Amino acid sequence: MAAEDDDALFVLTAVLLTPAQFPSVLGDDYPEACARLGLEPYAEGYGLVLGQDGSGARWTVATDDVTLVACAIAAWDCGMEYDLSPSDRSVAAALPGWPLNVAVSAPGVPAPHDPEPDPEMDGGRSALVPPDTEQWGPAQRRLGADEIALQWAVWREQVEDDVEFVEAGENPNASVKRVLEEVRAYVETPPPPGRVRSAFASGEARTLRADGPGWSMVARTDDIAFLLLDDEPGEVLPVGRGAELPGLLEALDGMAVRPAA
């Protein structure tokens, strides 16, 4: 959004906040991620534009023009320039601070800092800050699951082919058994939007992501699954296909939310 005064927003990056695509570090599902930003979890979602104003202050602009933000992200991913300037009519909220870590800053303005609270503009709300990922917990667990989804081949190579699926009647790990039971329950009773997401993978497969209280699961519909648990700090637990996992993953894929394109 170009302007010639301190109200200008120098755009640094942008992300989608929709049921199918949202920064999972913010929550286990879409409504939880929205709540962290004080936004209503509308089904259409938002685009989040992160930048600095002319004084260097951090701001997050939530726009309901999701298509505009998606086009900008796609262009940037291809190394192309794109002028991301949401119209004033599409702005749902202008929030002080950043909910995510941003490694860059705008040239020619002061270093990034949180703006002073302004009761007239934002009700004096505290500035957004990224979740704490220094210690193992929900935020770091979800980031770990993100990394496995991005680097599936690397993680898959570390697992032997004879990993056994944990059957419901067995109990080698009580936490794993509990998580698998909760995953199965999602098929019968759909969870909040974004708890189960499906994305493209190689070939005919899909990459599945499921999250719940204290756990995250990453799987491919043609392969195994990995579990990360809050009560197993830093551990990645592989779950073999066996006789049950293929059907469970197929059922999850059938009810998961998917990106529009």
Whole-number pLDDT of residue 91: 96
> Do 72 and 167 sit in the same domain of this protein?
no
Of the listed ranges 130-139, 160-169, 221-230, 242-251, the least confidently predicted one is 160-169
* pLDDT tens string 169-199: 455 578 888 899 999 999 999 999 999 999 9
pTM exceeds 0.85, yes or no: yes
Whole-number pLDDT of residue 2: 39
In the chain, % of residues over pLDDT 90: 77
Whole-number pLDDT of residue 241: 84
Domain that holds residue 118: 1-131
> Do 127 and 190 sit in the same domain of this protein?
no
Report the chain's mean pLDDT, rounded to a whole number.
Answer: 90
> Do 80 and 146 sit in the same domain of this protein?
no
Domain boundary among 131, 151, 169: 131
Domain boundary among 100, 131, 162: 131
Residue 261 lies in a domain: no
Give the residue from 185, 239, 187 showing the smallest Cα distance to 217: 239
Residues linked to residue 49 through DSSP beta bridges, in sequence order: 14, 61
Domain boundary among 102, 131, 160: 131
Question: How many structural domains does the chain have?
Answer: 2
Whole-number pLDDT of residue 208: 97
> Do 12 and 122 sit in the same domain of this protein?
yes
Does residue 79 or residue 3 have the better pLDDT? 79
Token digits of residue 218: 């990453």
* pLDDT tens string 194-247: 999 999 998 889 999 999 999 999 999 999 999 999 999 999 999 888 888 899
Average pLDDT over residues 155-181: 72
